[in-house]
């Protein structure tokens, strides 16, 4: 019998922590998992899942409009934000229940408390003051929106956390940032009829994505009525006499809006965890430093998910948790594979992507073949909607391997998941060419682009 109260103590009930706790308990380990807020973490409670529900809600006005082209005449319509939020909350409650049930069924002890490390192998539960010991400690506390406190008026702004629980839908909003969250919420609010402005400091939204996706998405967003202001940033937010907010930017713009939302990245939740009491190393951003096995510099403490700031994505945290279990409890050392992660931006239209953007591939390989198609999706023919789907394959000419696949259009996220398998399997362009098309689909374009649109040699387009 171990001298400790638990074999494994997990701090944080999000995607990574819950998976690790559930699997370890299922192996017969004595596991406790502490969560101060709600089980499910950012993804389930105030991230990916509720976000996607809001995305669906925001798409209905276009569905109603498009229906006309297909002979449907949709009558009077109205939208209730409180009803949407209530329905969303009900679904989130259901999912949280499933997370708890999974832990209980596996035999993990659920502790509804903040937990803090107070010494070697020792933790305190803040809710009760109780102290417990554990042989291993896993930190999976995630991150939180960067509150940007250096900006005057930042306390008047909302983050994605609050966006999910606004009492009423604002009439106008200014969103600052140009990453996943800023872009997704700009589309959500605009779709729901909110006058939306997106303000981003760089030359083009979504730094790090392929440029064809970035520019085509931005143009599509502008066509839908979103005002996108690049090369600019909000310097100051103040309360105006009429109760609205006045946001002033570096370029001298003044936006009078109901809400200002900041989406300027997320910071690791490492404050007040007691890391210093045992000397766990963190980096300049506060992220816990780990090796390839998610081990910290303290031999019995591990960390995974967003708190380690490797790749801030739910499936990555889950994957890291499964590798941790293999390594520590199944005698099968396994390192997470962070290569070729397929991902989606749930903008409107969506981006689905896996592999390298063209500019990065051009730096890595001497010669590229680039296959690019831009076309009107079939549904838009009768609906008359002015929209385009963009598909792009990037091929290393030397070995014909497809090193990047980028899609902008309906269900691009679904396509990215599947094409991710092809890239992970190391498929060449010849494999794509000999794959029979599924007709009529948008994705058939991915296997019927037979001739390169252009080549890139030594970084130059030829
Ligand atoms: P991102 O890192 O994607 O974007 C942050 C944005 O804020 C960037 O545009 C960045 O600009 C800008 N920024 C940062 N600091 C400042 C500053 N001081 N002044 C002005 N602009 C600034 O973070 P998000 O908050 O959008 O999302 C956090 C993470 O959550 C993402 O990295 C992603 O991994 C994950 N996520 C994933 C989703 C999905 O899979 N669909 C959805 C939502 C979130 P610059 O680019 O110039 O640095």
Whether the link from the prior residue into 440 is cis, omega within 30° of 0, is: yes
Distance 200 CA to ligand 1 centre (A): 10
Whether the pTM exceeds 0.85: the reply is yes
Domains of the chain: 6-144+267-329 (3.50.50.60), 154-264 (3.50.50.60), 343-461 (3.30.390.30)
Q: Enter the tokens of residue 189.
A: 């609010």
Q: How confident is the model at residue 2 (pLDDT cuts 50, 70, 90)?
A: confident
Per-residue pLDDT at 141:
98
Say yes or no to pLDDT of 98 above 90.
yes
359's tokens: 């500019």
Is 351's C-beta closer than 6 angstroms to any atom of ligand 1? Answer: no
| 51: number of Cβ within 10 Å | 20
Show Cβ contacts of residue 227 under 8 Å, excluding neighbours closer than 6 positions.
196, 197, 198
> 362 C-alpha to center of ligand 1: Å?
24
Q: Residue 177: CB within 6 Å of ligand 1?
A: yes
Q: Distance from CA of residue 20 to its chain's centroid?
A: 20
Pairwise CA distance, residues 138 & 324, whole Å: 9
Contact 268, 284 (CB under 8 A): no
Q: Is the CB of 207 under 6 A from ligand 1?
A: yes
**Beta partners for residue 364, in sequence order:** none
Q: What does the pLDDT look like over 35-56, one tens digit per residue?
A: 999 999 999 999 999 999 999 9
pLDDT exceeds 70 at position 261: yes
* Tens of pLDDT, residues 142-168: 999 999 999 999 999 999 999 999 999
CA distance 186 to 227: 9
Tell me the three state secondary structure of residue 106: helix
The answer to whether the beta carbons of residues 65 and 383 sit under 8 Å apart is yes
Give the percent of the chain with pLDDT over 90.
100
- Dist. CA 263 → ligand 1 center (Å): 6
pLDDT (tens digit, 9 = 90+) per residue, 102-138? 999 999 999 999 999 999 999 999 999 999 999 999 9
Q: Where on the phi/psi map is residue 278: left (φ > 0), alpha (ψ -120 to 50), or beta? A: alpha
**319 in active site:** no
Q: Is 312 in the pocket of ligand 1 (CB under 6 A)?
A: yes
- Which residue's alpha carbon is at the smallest distance from atom 34 of ligand 1? 312
pLDDT at 1: 61
Long-range contacts made by residues 69-78, C-beta under 8 angstroms, separation at least 24?
69/382, 69/383, 69/384, 70/382, 70/383
| Nearest in space to 320 (alpha carbons), one of 301, 336, 338, 333 | 336
3-state SS assignment for residue 441: coil
- For residue 321, give both structure tokens: 């948790």
The two tokens of residue 232 are 């600019």
Average pLDDT, the chain: 97
């Amino acid at each position: 019998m171990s001298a400790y109260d638990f074999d494994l103590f997990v701090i944080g009930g999000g995607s990574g922590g819950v998976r690790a706790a559930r699997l370890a308990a299922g192996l017969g380990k004595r596991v406790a998992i502490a969560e101060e807020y709600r089980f499910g973490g950012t993804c389930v409670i105030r991230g990916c899942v509720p976000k996607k529900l809001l995305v669906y809600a925001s798409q209905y006005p276009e569905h109603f409009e498009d229906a006309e082209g297909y002979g449907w005449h949709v009558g009077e319509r109205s939208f209730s934000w409180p009803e949407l939020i209530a329905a969303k909350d009900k679904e989130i409650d259901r999912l949280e229940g499933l997370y708890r049930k999974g832990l209980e069924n596996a035999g993990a002890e659920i502790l509804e408390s903040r937990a803090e490390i107070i010494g070697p192998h020792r933790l305190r539960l803040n809710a009760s003051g109780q102290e417990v010991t554990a042989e291993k400690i896993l930190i999976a506390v995630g991150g939180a929106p960067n509150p940007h406190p250096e900006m005057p008026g930042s306390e008047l702004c909302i983050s994605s956390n609050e966006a999910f629980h606004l009492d009423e839908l604002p009439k106008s909003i200014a969103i600052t940032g140009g990453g996943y969250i800023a872009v997704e919420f700009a589309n959500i609010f605009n779709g729901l009829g909110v006058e939306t402005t997106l303000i981003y400091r760089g030359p083009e939204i979504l730094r790090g994505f392929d440029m064809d996706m970035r520019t085509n998405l931005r143009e599509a967003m502008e066509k839908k009525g979103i005002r996108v202001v690049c090369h600019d940033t909000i310097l100051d937010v103040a309360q105006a006499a009429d109760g609205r907010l006045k946001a002033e930017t570096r370029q001298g713009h003044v936006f009078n809006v109901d809400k200002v939302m900041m989406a300027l990245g997320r910071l690791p939740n490492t404050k007040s965890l007691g890391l210093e009491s045992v000397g766990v190393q963190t980096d300049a951003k506060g992220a816990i430093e780990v090796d390839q096995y998610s081990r910290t510099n303290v031999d019995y403490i591990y960390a995974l998910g967003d708190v380690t700031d490797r790749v801030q994505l739910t499936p990555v945290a889950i994957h890291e948790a499964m590798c941790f279990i293999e390594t520590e409890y199944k005698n099968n050392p396994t390192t997470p594979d962070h290569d070729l992660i397929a991902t989606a931006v749930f903008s409107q239209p969506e981006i689905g992507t896996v592999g390298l953007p063209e500019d990065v591939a051009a730096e890595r390989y001497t010669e590229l073949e680039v296959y690019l198609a831009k076309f009107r999706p079939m549904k838009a023919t009768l609906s008359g909607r002015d929209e385009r789907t963009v598909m792009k394959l990037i091929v290393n000419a030397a070995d014909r391997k497809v090193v990047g696949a980028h899609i902008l259009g309906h269900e691009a996220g679904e396509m990215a998941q599947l094409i991710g398998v092809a890239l992970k399997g190391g498929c060449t362009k010849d494999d794509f060419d000999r794959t029979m098309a599924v007709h009529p689909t948008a994705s058939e374009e991915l296997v019927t682009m037979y001739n390169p649109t252009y080549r890139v040699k030594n970084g130059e387009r030829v």
